[in-house]
Amino acid sequence: MNARYAIFGVFHRTLGQRFLRWKRSLTLGARVAVIDSQGRFLLVKQSYAPGWLFPGGGVEFGETCEQAALRELHEEAEVTPTGPLVLHGVFSNHTKFPGDHLVIYTLREFAWNGFTPTREIVAAEFFAPDSLPDDTMGSTRRRIDEILGKTARSADW
């Protein structure tokens, strides 16, 4: 990992997010659980944060949640949907950041020709639900269990 990008990531997670939360009382993110024909989930690894998670990011002003999800999916994982995004749920992240919400979609029809690492996303891979990396984020594991019907959907991230 490039040290310059690691420093950017630390700044973004600390000062940048605090400023946005102070300036706006609500933050909104969109993520996509991409599921292939073998039932594996596409996860990405960021350069500036630990753990594997679904591709996604913040919803920009003037953008719908679905537009943000599609944009982030292309930017982070080079995935092109060939079928519809299906809303899985809206989750609050109030315990960590008051006013933070995440919208999660599922996608089962798509084109993907591999992935080229960027300064933000260093890896993108498909994993079977029973073979997730040890450092998969807890929230990602919970959403996978919900999508598979193993647990009831929670309102909390």
Tell me: the pLDDT tens digits for 98-150? Answer: 788 999 999 999 999 999 999 999 999 999 999 999 999 999 999 999 999 99
Structure tokens belonging to residue 114? 């591999």
For 103, counting Cβ atoms within 10 Å of its Cβ (0-12 exposed, 13-18 middle, 19+ buried), the class is buried
Please tell me the pTM assigned to this model: 0.82
pLDDT at position 99 is 81
CA dihedral for 77, 54, 57, 138, sign (positive or negative) = negative
- Please write down the HEC assignment for all residues of 137-157: CHHHHHHHHHHCCCCCCCCEC
- The CATH label, of 3.50.50.60, 3.90.1170.50, 3.40.50.300, 3.90.79.10, for the domain at 3-147 is 3.90.79.10
16 neighbors 49 (Cβ within 8 angstroms): no
32 residue type, one letter: V
Q: Where are the domains of the chain?
A: 3-147
What single letter denotes the amino acid at residue 30?
A
Number of CB atoms found within 10 A of residue 69's CB: 27
Instruction: Give per-residue pLDDT as tens, 28-81.
Output: 999 999 999 999 999 999 999 899 999 999 999 999 999 999 999 999 999 999
Contact partners, residue 124, CB within 8 Å, separation at least 6: 42, 43, 44, 45, 55, 76, 77, 78, 115
